[in-house]
Amino acid sequence: MRELLAIEALRAGYGQAVVLPDMTLRLADGEVLALLGRNGTGKTTLINSIVGVTRRISGTIRLAGRDITALRPDQRARAGIGWVPQERNIFRSLTVEENMTAVAQPGPWDVNRVYALFPRLKERRGNYGNQLSGGEQQMLAVGRALTLNPRVLLLDEPTEGLAPIIVDELLAALREIMRAGGVCTIIVEQNARKILGLADRVVILERGTIVHDAPAAALQADPAPLERFLGVAGKG
């Protein structure tokens, strides 16, 4: 597969704190990457650096060969970076449908396709963001990112704090997104077992550095690296 996202020798963090000392990572078009690690190992910082909301000290980020290192977050979004942060960041004073149409860009993912993926959102399309449950807000955050028609979709702890039945519904939707193809996905998740079945590849971070990079199938067959780096087999 063709290389889509290329992070080269990235040194980044917040203020004077360096969280990623020297990050190099490449992802292919359509690849699904599970990004694992204990709390504080740099997972969210890596996601935020791709989005453009950290302090970059050095290094480059390229999207489909285009250097996006100097672009603002809104410019990166238009270039093809879709982001679902831990905080969701939906527009609470807009309706479900307005949340999506406000940011939509031309492409295969439109509002109706998101409604087919998340029927709950269609039922609540006239509700304001602040009238939704936590699970519905997360679905909306994913749907809004999809209507940007991104080349890269970044999901930071998408199942955190959700009821098990909602987690199952969300994971089923993510499987459908992966099957549809056309987007490279990075998923940060605390519980590895939830996403190993979704991912093509797993990267484990420790102190802002990649300490393990392998096919997801290899970790499913032998969870020893999960035990070593995360402490509990299948759970980070």
Q: What domains, with CATH codes, occur in the chain?
A: 1-80+152-158+183-236 (3.40.50.300)
pLDDT at residue 175, rounded to an integer: 93
DSSP letters spanning 67-116: E-TT--HHHHHHHTEEEE-TT----TTSBHHHHHHTT--SSS--HHHHHH
Examine the pLDDT at 230 and tell me if it is beyond 60.
yes
Examine the pLDDT at 225 and tell me if it is beyond 60.
yes
User: Is the Cα dihedral 9, 30, 79, 42 positive or negative?
Assistant: negative
Q: How many other β-carbons are positioned within 10 Å of the β-carbon of residue 2? A: 8
**How confident is the model over 169-192, as pLDDT tens digits?**
999 999 999 988 889 999 998 778
> pLDDT-derived band of residue 232, with 50, 70 and 90 as boundaries?
low
Examine the pLDDT at 234 and tell me if it is beyond 80.
no
